Amino acid sequence: MQLKSIEIGPLSTPNNVFLAPLAGYTNCVFRQVCIKLGAGLTFTEMVSAKGLCYDSKNTRELLLLPPDYGAIKAVQIFGGEEEFVERVAACGELEPYDIIDINMGCPVPKIFKNGEGSALMADIPRAARIVRAAVRSGKPVTVKFRTGLTDLKPVTRDFARAMEDAGASLLTIHGRSRERIYSGPVAFDEIARAKAAVGIPVIANGGVFCAADADELMDKTGADGVAVARAALHDPFIFCELTGTPVPDKKALIAWQLKRTFELFDSRFALVFMRKMLAFYTKGMPDSAALRARLLSCPSRAELEDIFAGIEF
């Protein structure tokens, strides 16, 4: 794909290949791994605006940033009430972040029933008010959304225009409706209509697992860049493939991730998280099913490190 910088307000990204937010996975260490491999921009897991206003410990942990992060910092928040979004966008906890992204595409029933995430696509005026509330923070605001709630009633173009009019600096469009969740064909035509309707950058998301997928998504939508999601969990080295970044020593990089995760996070979280990540990274290897079983039942950091030492990447 053709690489280029993306302008987001006063900021310029190194390239147009982004890591999409992934609930439960895109903590600061994993984001740093993807940055080292070439990702031009990464986002936190989605953070509840209301949870942050009510001083939720778990919510605050999602915002952890090490001093050596060394890249543009983008936080993704979600919320259905503009007053909470405005408070959070200007709060001290978000001060280290350069960009505020608002999730308006999450299909999870609990989020949807609260009038958050993808529910906002059914109420464009309210979605626009939420964006305006965040823009008042003075930071660039971006929006991630889907094509609509159902395939039969797409709102992609109208929603994109409304978000631009409300002050959004960039849009990321997952080319599936809420009813599709994360499967089914990507609606290239819907992303293309939105791209043609706005003057701000549009990033296309959905179905990128290799360079050919990224090329197809760019060619068929006219988007300014792509966002990689689930593929990065199994193979974060996809960013090397898409950006031409030299592939580093895989084992050394994963060893760094393992060590850094235990340094920054609670030991129980770090153990569970890195067991899952190593299971992702070793998928498809010889005897991977048995290795996965060992990893996922591993009771301690020491045993996890012993298993990791024996893996050939």
Cα(34)–Cα(42) distance, integer angstroms: 8
- Give the active site residue among 91, 106, 240, 298: 106
Beta-strand relationship, 7-8 and 74-78:
unpaired
Q: Is 172 helix (H, G, I), strand (E, B) or coil?
A: strand
Q: Is 130 helix (H, G, I), strand (E, B) or coil?
A: helix
Whether the Cβ atoms of residue 1 and residue 226 lie closer than 8 Å to each other: yes
Beta-strand relationship, 225-228 and 17-19:
parallel
- Please give the distance of CA 245 from its chain centroid, rounded to a whole number: 20
Cα(19)–Cα(251) distance, integer angstroms: 21
Active site residue 106: yes
User: Residue 10, exposed/middle/buried by CB under 10 A (0-12, 13-18, 19+)?
Assistant: exposed
Cα(263)–Cα(64) distance, integer angstroms: 12
- Please give the distance of CA 184 from its chain centroid, rounded to a whole number: 20
Neighbouring residues of 244: CB distance < 8 A, sequence distance ≥ 6:
3, 38
Q: Is 265 helix (H, G, I), strand (E, B) or coil?
A: coil
Cα(64)–Cα(67) distance, integer angstroms: 10
**Catalytic residue IDs:** 106
